Amino acid sequence: MSLRKRDEGDGVGGNVRLAGSPEAAEERAPGRCLPLLPWDRFSAWLHCVCVVGFDLELGQAVEVLYPQHAKLTDKEKTNICYLSFPDSNSGCLGDTQFCFRFRQSSSRKLSWHCLLDQFDRDLPIYLKKDPAYYYGYVYFRQVQDKTLKRGYFQKSLVLVSKLPYIHFFHIVLGHIAPEYFEKNEPFLEAACSDIDRWPSPVPGKTLHLPIMGIVIKVRIPTCHDKPGTTEVLQTAHQPATQISITLPTVHEVDLFRCFSPVFFHIQMLWELVLLGEPLVVMAPSPSESSETVLALVSCISPLKYYSDFRPYFTIHDSEFKEYTTRTQAPPSVILGVTNPFFAKTLQHWPHIIRIGDIKLSGEVPKQVKVKKLKNLKTLDSKPGVYTSYKPYLNRDEEIIKQLQKGIQQKRPAEAQSIILRRSFLELTQSFIIPLERYVASLMPLQKSISPWKSPPQLKPFNQEEFMKTLEKAGPQLTSRLKGDWIGLYRHFLKSPNFDGWFRTRRKEMTQKLEALHLEALCNEDLLFWSQKHTEVETVDLVLKLKDKLADGENLPVKPGTMEKLQLHIDSIILALPEDLQGILIKTGKM
């Protein structure tokens, strides 16, 4: 066996790996992608891993970056540095885990994008990657250390990823970070090497992900899963956590625990999130701010929250000015902050959630009134929701009672979260079903699709027409909640969430129309048609069909359609004079 000595400076960048390891062999990249290179598998999961430390002269600085060739602009690095440390003197002694989100500062090519996009297609909309943002998952340790000049050891291990798999990365960090702080360099090299052997994050497949002595088993949801059902992985018996861990979810937060400080306002918060209202969460620590923001964003699932949200936002953030300016109305974003400075900076914001320490369990929250905004002056203000917003819908007393009963009966937090999640889901679905139904009616009739004309257009969205449908087929069919549903819809139709939702639907339906049109075209006798038309028209048809063949990959056509199309093209070309054949076969090919 030959052993190559690796030079010291090489670090993990060298990435030595068993040639042709079994995982590499079992799963090849799809045809149009390049073969797997070192770090390709890693970058399907993570953009990079950073270690952020505190330098007495520089302040926070990126001490280590894996892989060494990972690209981060200076702006991104600065953001990561500030966002990886607690912002204020919030203490955070010991270990703290939280998550942040930051804007990608330039449009850079993802080396692995072709494969990732393919996975993206099968993901539920709220788990799709946002090309403009990264997530940072942080494990921060702060302990007294008299040997250090500063008197404290302060360091963060940060995973930077496009994937919003909050729970999964929380578990991964919880496993690797404490060991990393003890063992340093070779540990991170080994952990990154493990990740670089992981199978790709394919939705719907049970993945076994070995990392530092344990195997994490997860299933990434797909858009075909029934909303509200979590396909929990089943194991005959749960072996010790030193061997393997089975995660029931990759992305879900502990809704009940996160919302417990604002328990009585959950339904109002659902409305505020649905409407994309500017919302700020002021919390004592980054872990509480990030958990609460993520819980807010997820409470309208399966709807996607389309505006920006920052689980943890600091005064150093590059978007600080943009988001806090008083010269224009507060933007449609949800910010999580800890710095007392924000109490003043964001005083003009319409809705402020102030969180005390999140209680771990037990205590029944007391009935609290919504607080008036003018009472919010300083960080010492009491926990609660500060807003002058009047909810459109009446409060669902039943769910409150059910959860309160659960607290009294010491129902496990997971069960409480499931109840809460289901109630949010029912509410969101009751709200969205009439819109889905109306939008489906904008689709032209099947008989209006003619293979010899362009695909018909979708009918435009008409607000009043939609409102009329509510009389007979409104949310009253599925929800027992009373209130001003009409007012809620009118407000929603003006919100970024409606805009994003409708754009997505319109795109899907347009693609469906194109697919139906293509199928209709393929069912015609195109060769017969071409024989009755001039050569120029036939050539034009071939070129158009070739375009469709190239675009068709992303269309939801019936299986076999593209093959049919190819056969049509081939037979038409064959019937043409030879000189033309040669030209047409070449055109459109790479």
Partner 1 sequence: MALRELKVCLLGDTGVGKSSIVWRFVEDSFDPNINPTIGASFMTKTVQYQNELHKFLIWDTAGQERFRALAPMYYRGSAAAIIVYDITKEETFSTLKNWVKELRQHGPPNIVVAIAGNKCDLNDAREVMEKDAKDYADSIHAIFVETSAKNAININELFIEISRRIPSTDTNPPASGKGFKLRRQPSATKRSCC
Binding site for partner 1 (CB under 8 A): 1-4, 6, 12, 15-22, 179, 183, 186-187, 189-191, 193-194, 197, 208, 210, 212-215, 236, 239-244
The token pair that represents 234 in the structure block: 């089943």
Give the shortest CB-385-to-partner 1 separation in angstroms.
44
CB closer to partner 1 out of 244 and 381: 244
| Element at 43 (helix H, strand E) | helix 40-45
Q: Is 234 exposed, middle or buried (0-12, 13-18, 19+ CB in 10 A)?
A: exposed
CB closer to partner 1 out of 16 and 329: 16
Give the shortest CB-4-to-partner 1 separation in angstroms.
7
Please report, for residues 108, 269, 313, 319, 468, the alpha-carbon distance to residue 347 in angstroms, rounded to integers and kept in the order given.
36, 19, 16, 18, 40
Helix (H, G, I), strand (E, B) or coil at 206: strand
- Compute the CA torsion angle 117, 120, 126, 132 (nearest 10 deg): -10
Give the shortest CB-206-to-partner 1 separation in angstroms.
13
- Compute the CA torsion angle 386, 389, 390, 395 (nearest 10 deg): -50
Q: State the number of CA atoms in the 13 A half-sphere of 344 facing the CB.
A: 4
CB closer to partner 1 out of 20 and 31: 20
| Residue 77: count of CB within 10 angstroms of its CB | 17
CB closer to partner 1 out of 15 and 429: 15
CB closer to partner 1 out of 3 and 445: 3
CB closer to partner 1 out of 194 and 319: 194
CB closer to partner 1 out of 14 and 331: 14
Please report, for residues 433, 434, 493, the alpha-carbon distance to residue 462 in angstroms, rounded to integers and kept in the order given.
17, 14, 11
CB closer to partner 1 out of 191 and 258: 191
Give the shortest CB-210-to-partner 1 separation in angstroms.
4
Give the shortest CB-141-to-partner 1 separation in angstroms.
18
Give the shortest CB-32-to-partner 1 separation in angstroms.
29
Task: Report the DSSP beta bridge partners of residue 155.
Answer: 53, 141
CB closer to partner 1 out of 210 and 228: 210
Report the distance separating Cα 466 and Cα 488, nearest Å.
13
Angle at alpha carbon of residue 491, lines to 486 and 497, rounded to 5°: 120
Task: Report the DSSP beta bridge partners of residue 386.
Answer: 352, 371
Bridge-based pairing of strands 351-354 and 279-282 is parallel
CB closer to partner 1 out of 214 and 576: 214
Residue type, position 92, single letter: C
Cis bond upstream, residue 434 (ω within 30): no
Task: Report the DSSP beta bridge partners of residue 245.
Answer: 216
Give the shortest CB-172-to-partner 1 separation in angstroms.
14
Give the shortest CB-406-to-partner 1 separation in angstroms.
34
CB closer to partner 1 out of 28 and 422: 28
Report the distance separating Cα 427 and Cα 271, nearest Å.
10
Contacts made by residues 559-565, CB under 8 angstroms, sequence distance 24+: 561/515, 561/518, 561/519, 561/522, 564/522, 565/518, 565/521, 565/522
Give the shortest CB-146-to-partner 1 separation in angstroms.
24
Give the shortest CB-6-to-partner 1 separation in angstroms.
8
Residue type, position 81, single letter: C
Give the shortest CB-152-to-partner 1 separation in angstroms.
24
Report the distance separating Cα 180 and Cα 52, nearest Å.
13
